[in-house]
């Protein structure tokens, strides 16, 4: 196991990492500890009281972050005809059908989100082994299999992000912006994420739903959030 860097150790000395903080205070702390020479991502980690191995307790979807993500999102769209033209007009970075599938099979993975029209999914399924492990496979649950490709492209480029529970630990990790964002902008995105996770709580989930929440920067330690104040 690698030893934590000096910046990380210095950040740990600046606060009690076992203390629970209110959401706004946690966001402020995480932002203040982003001291790297690049604009660090601020991420929220949530441990949910669900069993993702059970189909009725899987938590997955997308949420629009009102203040955006601060990231240039590259979008690939598998579509033909009018849908393809609509995707290009909306600013998609890669658009195609069999030709785009061939490019991906050859190793082209220069995109962060893949969107497909329903009629293309039979062909796109051939990319399952390539896109699946990277979390890029289009899925109706995340709004990436749709007939409204122009709208989807606009939303993902404008701040819509995907969330889903990991099979181990039922954890959800979602970026809510950059360290250069104002604390207010980060809190707006934090609130949107928490509200969305509460909205999709599985009916079969028993006991405490949001078990642990923390906020951190790319290179900084996690700041624990008091879940009773969410």
Distance CA 147, CA 119 (A): 9
Distance CA 200, CA 118 (A): 24
Reading the block at residue 94, the tokens are 């890669």
Confidence label for 4 from pLDDT (cuts 50, 70 and 90): low
Q: Among 187, 196, 182, which Cα is nearest to 46's?
A: 196
Look up tokens 């630990």; give the residue.
169
Confidence label for 16 from pLDDT (cuts 50, 70 and 90): confident
All structural domains of the chain: 14-69+160-229 (3.30.190.20), 75-157 (3.40.50.790)
pLDDT at position 9 over 80: no
* Mean pLDDT computed over 82-109: 98
- pLDDT for 95 equals 98
* Mean pLDDT computed over 208-227: 96
> pLDDT digit string (tens) for 166-185?
878 899 999 999 999 999 99
Of residues 104 and 6, which shows the higher confidence score?
104
Q: pTM of the full predicted structure?
A: 0.88
* Mean pLDDT computed over 186-210: 96
> pLDDT digit string (tens) for 45-71?
999 999 999 999 999 999 999 999 999
Of residues 20 and 168, which shows the higher confidence score?
20
Contact predicate 149/81, CB 8 Å: no
Helix (H) or strand (E) holding 158: helix 149-158
- pLDDT for 1 equals 40
> pLDDT digit string (tens) for 124-173?
999 999 999 999 999 999 999 999 999 999 999 999 999 999 878 899 99
């Amino acid at each position: 196991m690698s030893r934590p860097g000096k910046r990380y150790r210095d950040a740990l000395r600046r606060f009690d990492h076992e203390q629970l903080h209110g959401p706004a205070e946690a966001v402020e702390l995480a932002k203040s500890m982003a001291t790297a020479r690049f604009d660090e991502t601020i991420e929220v980690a949530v441990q949910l009281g669900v069993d993702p191995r059970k189909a009725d307790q899987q938590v997955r979807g997308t949420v629009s972050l009102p203040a955006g993500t601060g990231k240039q999102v590259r979008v690939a769209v598998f579509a033909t005809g009018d849908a393809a033209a609509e995707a290009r007009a909306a600013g998609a970075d890669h658009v195609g059908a069999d030709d785009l599938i061939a490019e991906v099979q050859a190793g082209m993975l220069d995109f962060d989100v893949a969107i497909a029209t329903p009629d293309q999914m039979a062909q796109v399924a051939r990319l399952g082994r390539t896109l699946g492990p990277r979390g890029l496979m289009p899925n109706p649950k995340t709004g990436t299999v749709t007939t409204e490709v122009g709208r989807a492209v606009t939303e993902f480029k404008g701040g819509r992000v995907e969330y889903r529970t990991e099979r181990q630990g039922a954890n959800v990790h979602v970026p809510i912006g950059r360290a250069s964002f104002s604390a207010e902008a980060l809190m707006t995105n934090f609130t949107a994420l928490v509200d969305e996770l509460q909205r999709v709580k599985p009916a079969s989930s028993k006991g405490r739903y949001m078990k642990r929440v923390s906020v951190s920067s790319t290179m900084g330690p996690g700041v624990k959030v008091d879940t009773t104040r969410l």
